[in-house]
Amino acid sequence: MAPKTVPTAPHKAGSKAVRVVIATPLASPPDPFLYLKQSLKRDKNQVILAVLQRPLFASAMISICRTARAFPGSGGDRARFLGTTQLRFADQADFEHLVDQQGLVDALTTTLPTLDRRVAEDAPDVKAFFSFADALVQIETNRRELQRKHELKKRHRQQEDTNIPMT
């Protein structure tokens, strides 16, 4: 962003105006880890008790997943980076609602194949991330399967209704 110039009034009649340059701060990019922190309620051991702002949480996690996918390092490096989110939940009560956050499951689904799961064997925070991501992806998969079954039953009933013989 270019600095702003502000004209000032001349000091004497006939003299030229002096321009003062005011530097404006550059806008820094949003910090997804700050958003993550603001969206969660944690206990003294950093265990997540509740997601206070689901859209903010989802936005932060989507951004963090994008950053991890852009890492030039190995799948293990990406997994360790995602482990820094410390997604250790006290329970999975919020998971059903988190699946509804637009783009979150897609971000996790596209990120998981780029990670090395072996890193989780000796890194509890990485293991916690995988547990979180796998749970959300599984919930979404189960929902889609239930929807598919519901649609099949609906079509089957419609076919039965059209195949009733007229007497």
Query: Mind listing the pLDDT tens digit for each residue in 81-132?
Result: 999 999 999 999 889 999 999 999 999 999 999 999 999 999 999 999 999 9
Backbone angles phi, psi at 19, to 5 degrees: -100, 130
Above 80 in pLDDT, residue 155?
yes
| pTM for the model | 0.74
pLDDT, one tens digit per residue, over 41-67 is: 999 999 999 999 999 999 999 999 999
On whether the CB atoms of residues 126 and 80 are closer than 8 A, the answer is yes
Above 60 in pLDDT, residue 1?
no
Report how far residue 82's alpha carbon sits from residue 127's, in angstroms, rounded to the nearest whole number. Answer: 10
Report how far residue 76's alpha carbon sits from residue 36's, in angstroms, rounded to the nearest whole number. Answer: 22
pLDDT the model gives residue 68: 94
CB-based contacts of 92, cutoff 8 Å, min separation 6: 135
The structure tokens listed for 126 are 């990485």
pLDDT the model gives residue 69: 93
Cα-based distances in Å from 29 to 23, 26, 34: 18, 9, 11
pLDDT band for position 30 (50/70/90)? confident
For the chain, give the DSSP string.
-PPEEEE---SSTTPPPPEEEE--PPPPPP-HHHHHHHHEEE-TT--EEEES-HHHHHHHHHHHHHHHHH-SS-HHHHHHHHHTT---BS-STTHHHHHTSTTHHHHHHHHGGGS-GGGGGG-HHHHHHHHHHHHHHHHHHHHHHHHHHHHHHHHHHHHHHHTPPP-
pLDDT the model gives residue 159: 77
Residue type, 114: T
Report how far residue 11's alpha carbon sits from residue 157's, in angstroms, rounded to the nearest whole number. Answer: 89
